[in-house]
Amino acid sequence: MKITGLVTVIICGALLIFYAMDFPDFGDGTSPASTYLSPYFIEHTIEDANVPNIVTTVLADYRGYDTMYETTVVFTAGLACFFLLRRKESQNPPARFYRHTPTGITLRIEEGGKLPAEGSKVFMRIDSLWAPDSLIIKNTCRLVIAFIQLFALYVVAHGHHSPGGGFQGGVLLGSSIILFAISNDLRRSIKRFNEKTSAILGALGVLLYAGTGFLCLLLGAHFLNYKALAPIFRSTAAMARSHGILCVEIGVAFAVMAVMIWIYYNLSSAGKHDEGL
């Protein structure tokens, strides 16, 4: 089996190298990308989609199929991590550690011992890999997270008019939740943004992107031809394409954010969602 895999990799690699020799050289001014595609995008982006950010127009409009499949791949990666890593908590959990909040004393409770009530304000559960309780870190992160999320929404909403977009905004939103999990603990983060929410938002992001394309089909145009949405938005065809780009960028942001959090939960806790990094 190993030999078969090795031979397959060698053959595929050789084919890739062989056909890559036919590609234009880097920076070749006579390549199709330089003589046709790039000039067209630069000259017609505003006219076609009323969007000043050429990069976003290329990603979400001119090559919208490719970006939709990229979003699907991101969601599939989250599913793969779930099926490979996720496992139920052990029926016989190991020793647990609690911090007595008034005194700061750490208690180790072995299996079978009486555990403090859930939600207790006197005893706070801490991870086995003990870390000092820092009020400065927690409060600083709590304040910073709000600004990160606000900026992320700005990046998504203005991604087709300034640098940004769905991928960047989704990464910022996901990193804000991960920052909360790191500065507090995984259990608190899961209570606020659980695994089910991640899965639903990830699927919703892909469906929002594809659904926008199917809506164009229902209105008599090609898939992801946002001009068909003009009657819905009550706008010109160019402005409808701008609004369509925003719709799919929101879908991308949902998918990227949810999958980032989903993967982090499984990787940081070895799939148990009990104790994190």
Distance, in Å, from the CA atom of 22 to the CA atom of 272, rounded to the nearest integer, reads 49
Interval 16-20 mean pLDDT: 90
pLDDT for 99-140, tens place per residue? 777 777 777 777 777 777 776 777 777 777 666 677 888 889
CA dihedral 5, 11, 13, 15 (to 10 degrees): -150
- Cα distances from 258 to residues 166, 169, 225, 255, in angstroms, run 12, 12, 27, 5
- pLDDT value at residue 93: 59
Most confident listed range (104-113, 165-174, 262-271): 165-174
Strands 96-100 and 123-126: antiparallel
Residue 134 near residue 221, CB atoms below 8 Å: no
The answer to whether the pTM exceeds 0.75 is yes
Give Cβ neighbours of residue 193 (< 8 Å, ≥ 6 apart). Answer: 177, 261
Percent with pLDDT over 90 in the chain? 45
pLDDT for 218-259, tens place per residue? 998 999 999 999 999 998 999 999 999 999 999 999 999 999
